[in-house]
Structure 1
Amino acid sequence: QMEGWMEKKGYNSLEDFRGRSVAKIIPPSQIPGDKPYKARIQPETCQKCLRCLEACPYGAIAVVGKKLVVDPGKCDGCRLCVSLCAHGAAEFYLNQ
């Protein structure tokens, strides 16, 4: 099937179109539209391992006092903190 598609599109080999789509990839932070969900850290569940803080690509998580706090203005909704939190302290909520 791949050969049929390539032939139809005018490609002779994989090298003919390798990497062409990379230039069209849009980073999540530049995708237009609403980002209704934001992260928050539940202080009673948080074990302060700092995985979320270290991993957040947007710098949205900080230590304030003795708690980890998410800045909703910086949070892009990527959910990396939620996937890394072994204790379920990082969660998402509808930001209205």
Structure 2
Amino acid sequence: MNVTFGLNIFGPFKGWFATVTSIEIGPEGNLFVADFYNDRIQKFTAGGDYLTSFGIESDGPGQTEIAVAVDSDGTVWSVNFDANRVEQWRP
């Protein structure tokens, strides 16, 4: 499968990114991508198909999700730059 992702795209578009700051592979092979200026983590299958996105929109200039990590049980951890906190996302 050939997958093309757009960069420097601001907005809620699936599979498009403003600035990728972190990438993690989960226990089921899914790909999690921190999309810094779009305030979200995007999730894809191992083949590159878009599954979902999640995050908390910032109140500031839109600089939020800077890093992502995934536990063996599928729990996603993200670092929220704007709010100075670590966030937990359960499967």
Q: Same fold (TM over 0.5)?
A: no
Higher relative contact order, chain-length normalized (CA < 8 Å, sep 6+): 1
So what's the TM-score if we normalise by structure 1? 0.22
Greater fraction of residues in strand: 2
Greater fraction of residues in helix: 1
So what's the TM-score if we normalise by structure 2? 0.22
